[in-house]
Structure 1
Amino acid sequence: MELLRPNRFFLLPSLLTCTSLFCGFYSMVAAIKGGDYFYSAAVAILIAGIFDGLDGRVARLTGSTSGFGMQLDSLCDMVSFGVAPGLLAYLWALKPYGRYGWLAAFLYVAATALRLARFNVIAETPPEQRKIKHHDFVGLPCPAAAGAVATTVMFCRFFGATGTVKHLSILLLVYLLSYLMISNHRYLSFKKVKIAKEKRFQATVGAILFIAVIATEPPVTLFVLALCYAASGLVMELYGMAKRKNQPPPSSDSGITA
């Protein structure tokens, strides 16, 4: 288990974390303005996700991980990936549904808080005591859920939906994302991907092609990517259930002796 220094403050990772917070705050300001600013609010959430991924990597590379940084990261994530996408979803698509709309937005924010609290507890648990592999997530990560909300706004804007929208599928999506965040479904983490030396060139080419595909139409490709990752937890859960169901029952010894 990685040793955290609780009282140490490190400038670079904390600055990256606060930049993520700034993007989340700007997303809320843009969402309140409404209209064409909904798209800017969605993009700001995605940028916040980039900085959120950078701060942890920089902290590990520079040996500047600390308990303070962990708590700061959780508080900033609550704003950037909880309050900001919840407010964006409500003002953009959930407001016409009245009570059901703001309850969906609140449930999303509450699920984010619960998800972050559980993540902090798991992070402080020794690896040998964890029920799920250390490189996997328990429940949908809140940046991925926020990305699903943001890319939905971008996707609808790509097909000409300017301003606010009203569609039942978006209301259901917010409820579904809230459930996935607090579920026990396993989600793959790509933080520690090990690539063999003889396959690094092929992996680099594949990464370039992957970026090129995303760059073709980002509002569409990012939306599809976000939904596929959100659904992957359910798919792996169903696959595991089917695999366990098809396993032959353990042979029982009758225990009869001569």
Structure 2
Amino acid sequence: MEPAQQSTNRMYIVPCMLTICSLFSGFYSIVSSFNGHFFAAAIAILVAGVFDMLDGRVARMTGSTSTFGMELDSLCDMVAFGVAPGLLAFLWALTPYGRYGWLAAFLYVAATALRLARFNAQAIDNRDSKTSATSSDFTGLPCPAAAGMIATSVMFSTYVFKTTDTVQNITLLLLVYLLSYLMVSSHRYLSFKHVEIAREKRFHVFIGLILLLILLASEPPITLFAASLIYISSGLVLALRERSRRNKRKQVKQEKLP
């Protein structure tokens, strides 16, 4: 029993260093936001997302997952995908709205904390009940995706409207409130962690991924913004479709009743 506990609390250098790199990128984003370099701050958040994706993949591939790594990842995510995008949104677009602006930024940070706490609680429940989470869905919008939406909005605005200064648009205020709601909601979002691809289709999927990479690299401020917007909208679309299915099932049951 004791060796298993030591293994669970063990620190693995490679995945933990990738997590620290994500933290560093988030902290750099905060510094850049305070200095008014909003485009650089947005890029840093996206880089943090890349490191956050890599640390989990490396930990699973090398069998180096641990409770220590999970807790470190959550703390770093709070900075990189909670505080950093919250400050970026506030300093870039929410300051003109006064109290409503900083309340929106705080709500976003609080929603990120709640989202991470719920995710960790679900992971602990699955481990204690000795069940593996095989679902390909997230419950609520993942905080890296929410942070990516804010970051790509900055990039899109800078690229399309040629502005490097602060902006004032009510849509951005509403976007922050919407992202906060989606993170703590029960809407389902695809995680792409347990995607099973048939062997005969792997080559076609590989070619498709190359084409997708070329598309994203063509005009990153536009294509990344569009990809983030599509992913954000997917949870709402799935929720509406599920609600429509439930209504149809209720109608069928009512029609069968005498």
Give the TM-score normalised by structure 2: 0.92
Task: Check 1:98–1:7 CA distance in 2 against 1; reply closer, same or farther (3 A cut).
Answer: same
Following the alignment from structure 2 to structure 1, what is the Cα–Cα distance between the partners of residues 218 and 53? 23
Report the Cα offset of residue 253 of structure 1. Answer: 8.3
After superposition, the C-alpha distances for 1:213-243 in whole angstroms (9 at most, x for unaligned) are 1111110010011011111111100000111
Following the alignment from structure 1 to structure 2, what is the Cα–Cα distance between the partners of residues 109 and 210? 31
Q: 2:120 maps to what in 1?
A: 120
Q: Which amino acid aligns with 1:244?
A: R
Residues 55-134 of structure 1: pairs in structure 2 closer than 5 A? 55-126=55-126, 134=135
Q: Which amino acid aligns with 2:147?
A: A
Q: 2:210 maps to what in 1?
A: 208
Q: Which amino acid aligns with 2:98?
A: G
Following the alignment from structure 1 to structure 2, what is the Cα–Cα distance between the partners of residues 134 and 142? 18
Q: 1:152 maps to what in 2?
A: 153
Q: Which amino acid aligns with 2:238?
A: M
Q: 1:198 maps to what in 2?
A: 200
Report the Cα offset of residue 6 of structure 1. Answer: 3.2
Q: Which runs of 5+ in 1 are unaligned?
A: none
Aligned equivalent of 1:249, options 236, 247, 253:
253
Residues 149-188 of structure 1: pairs in structure 2 closer than 5 A? 149-159=150-160, 160-188=162-190
More helix by share: 2
Aligned equivalent of 2:20, options 18, 21, 25:
18
Give the TM-score normalised by structure 1: 0.92
Amino-acid identity (%): 60
User: Match of 1:165, SS?
Assistant: coil
Q: Confirm or deny: 8 A CA contact 2:136 2:195 kept in the other structure.
A: no
- 1:54 correspondence with 2:58: no
Task: Check 1:129–1:241 CA distance in 2 against 1; reply closer, same or farther (3 A cut).
Answer: farther
- 1:39 correspondence with 2:39: yes
User: Match of 1:137, SS?
Assistant: strand
User: Match of 1:162, SS?
Assistant: coil
Q: Which amino acid aligns with 2:74?
A: S
Following the alignment from structure 1 to structure 2, what is the Cα–Cα distance between the partners of residues 229 and 33? 30
After superposition, the C-alpha distances for 1:59-87 in whole angstroms (9 at most, x for unaligned) are 11111100000000000000000000000
Corresponding residue pairs, total? 249
Report the Cα offset of residue 134 of structure 1. Answer: 2.7
**RMSD across aligned C-alpha pairs, in angstroms?**
1.9
Following the alignment from structure 1 to structure 2, what is the Cα–Cα distance between the partners of residues 116 and 126? 15
Task: Check 1:251–1:61 CA distance in 2 against 1; reply closer, same or farther (3 A cut).
Answer: same
Q: Which runs of 5+ in 2 are unaligned?
A: none
With 185-194 and 13-22 compared, the bigger mean Cα shift is at: 185-194
